[in-house]
């Protein structure tokens, strides 16, 4: 890891997860990168259950639920959960956003009339929601409009708004600081001249599964995707010519199979400032993910049409740790240091290294994977292996508080005995399971 700042306006230092990628689960990846960042900085962790934990450092404590800290208020969450309320505060802050209106489910015809009055294309999305769920953009006809309307749950109010042409970005801010930016690319396939569309989707999903963030967000053949294919004269059984690229979605929704590319170093100061102002416009928001549509994020805002279409006060922090392209950014680390101003990475010369011998019921129970996950969650290095005599050996190295926590967890395992001794030998820079 390096502490170099990669943008004139600030930004997250680079973070290299190395082979620890496989130790993070897509189901808990946001929580895990927060825990890992805290452990790497000597911040104590107190777990209450699988989701709730408390971080403490030098007399200050912050309570978390998943990756949501108590530094973000309930008011902020309530406002950001409503796209209509969010726009009110964006307007007060002088931030450009897409014009739109709220409709009840029963008012589809009135909504279509309004969409046409805005000027097509238009966007239909749920009043509340995140991750791009239920969002359909670039709607140019009534058939597509009705499909978008029906794709959402019946009880959810709909928002119809003007479609803004541009590239989709997520910018993360913490307080008054721009941290990281991700270009979100709509789901697409590249043909090889042999595979069907269905086979290409399956292959891409297998590749995505290796990434802890997008691994839980596969491409699915939804009705919107099938409609896109039909417009191109394709079906799931069509074979794409070699190097032909087919975009499956109009919306750059990573949750629906889109790609993520880190562009932190490319963001013009104007848009870094706009993101900070948008995030700070929400009262009680400690941090936020700002969704921005703009043609060219590398150029000044003047002369460009842009719009902030969402401010998420519970942003996907791991998005910036695990991009599909570009350098990983230690967004969680910046959050920890913002909460605990004196917390910094524990230098390796202050790490502690222990040799562990585990006996009892320790093989055939997934213990090595459990230790690998604990190591990743607590920013530890070393290795673990099964022995021929039915015992398990491990070398674990890292910040003392984190190391002691892992040892305590292992000691509490039923039918397991843990013998500990000092270790003076070499330790890898990451954590590995020896086969």
Catalytic residues: 368, 386
| Length of the chain as a residue count | 435
Beta strands at 431-434 and 381-386: parallel, antiparallel or unpaired: parallel
Q: Burial of 366 by CB count in 10 Å (0-12 exposed, 13-18 middle, 19+ buried)? A: exposed
Q: For the chain, first and last CA: distance in Å?
A: 27
Q: What is the DSSP string of 328-382?
A: -B-HHHHHHHHHSTT--PPPGGG-EEEEEEEEES-SSSSHHHHHHHHHHHTT-EE
Distance CA 126, CA 132 (A): 9
Torsion over CA: 312, 318, 321, 325 (sign): negative
What is the rounded distance in angstroms from the CA atom of residue 58 to the CA atom of residue 286?
20
Burial class (CB in 10 A: 0-12, 13-18, 19+), 415: exposed
Structure tokens at 156: 């959810």
**What residues pair up with 60 in beta bridges, in sequence order?**
57
Whole-angstrom Cα distance, residue 357 to residue 408?
14
Rg (C-alpha) for the chain, rounded Å, is 24
Please name every residue paired with 319 in a beta bridge, in sequence order, or none if there are none: none
Buried residues in 328-361 as b, exposed as e (16+ CB within 10 A): bbbbbbbbbbbbbeebebbeeeebbbbbbebebe
Contacts of 293 (CB under 8 A, 6+ apart): 98, 164, 165, 166, 167, 168, 169, 306, 307, 309
Q: Is residue 12 a contact partner of residue 320, using CB atoms and an 8 Å limit?
A: yes
Measure the CA–CA gap between 413 and 401, rounded to whole angstroms: 19
Six-digit token pair at 93? 């802050």
């Amino acid at each position: 890891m390096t502490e170099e700042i990669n943008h004139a306006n600030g930004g997250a230092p680079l973070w290299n997860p190395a082979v620890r990628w496989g130790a993070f689960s897509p189901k808990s990846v946001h929580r895990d990168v927060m825990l890992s960042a805290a452990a790497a900085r000597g911040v104590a962790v107190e777990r209450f259950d699988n989701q709730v934990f408390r971080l403490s450092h030098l007399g200050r404590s912050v309570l978390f639920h998943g990756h949501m800290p108590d530094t973000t208020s309930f008011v902020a969450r309530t406002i950001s959960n409503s796209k209509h309320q969010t726009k009110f505060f964006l307007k007060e802050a002088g931030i450009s956003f897409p014009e739109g209106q709220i409709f009840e489910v029963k008012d589809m015809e009135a909504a279509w009339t309004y969409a046409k009055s805005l000027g097509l294309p238009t966007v239909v999305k749920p009043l509340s929601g995140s991750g791009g769920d239920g969002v359909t953009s670039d709607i140019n006809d009534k058939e597509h409009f009705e499909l978008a309307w029906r794709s959402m749950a019946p009880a959810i109010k709909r928002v119809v708004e003007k479609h803004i042409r541009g590239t989709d970005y997520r910018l993360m801010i913490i307080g008054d600081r721009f941290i990281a930016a991700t270009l979100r690319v709509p789901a697409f396939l590249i043909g090889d001249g042999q595979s069907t569309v269905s086979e290409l989707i399956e292959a891409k999903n297998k590749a995505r599964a290796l990434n802890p963030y997008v691994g839980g967000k596969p491409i699915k053949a939804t009705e919107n995707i099938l409609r896109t294919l039909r417009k191109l004269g394709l079906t799931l059984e069509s074979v794409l010519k070699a190097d032909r690229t087919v975009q499956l979605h109009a919306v750059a929704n990573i949750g629906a199979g889109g790609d993520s590319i880190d562009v932190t170093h490319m963001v013009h100061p104007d848009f870094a400032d706009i993101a900070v102002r948008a995030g700070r416009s929400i009262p009680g928001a400690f941090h936020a993910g700002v969704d921005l549509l703009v043609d060219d994020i590398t150029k000044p805002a003047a002369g460009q049409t842009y719009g902030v279409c969402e401010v998420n006060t519970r942003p996907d922090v791991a998005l910036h740790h695990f991009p599909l392209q570009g350098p990983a950014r230690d967004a969680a680390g910046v959050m920890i240091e913002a909460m605990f101003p004196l917390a910094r990475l524990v230098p390796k010369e202050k790490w502690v290294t222990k040799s562990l011998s585990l006996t009892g019921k320790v093989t055939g129970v997934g213990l090595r994977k459990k230790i690998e996950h604990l190591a990743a969650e607590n920013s530890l290095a070393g290795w673990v292996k099964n022995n021929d005599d039915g015992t398990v050996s491990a070398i674990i190295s890292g910040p003392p508080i984190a190391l002691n926590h892992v040892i305590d967890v292992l000691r509490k395992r039923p039918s397991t005995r843990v013998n500990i001794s000092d270790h003076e030998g070499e330790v890898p820079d990451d954590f590995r399971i020896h086969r």
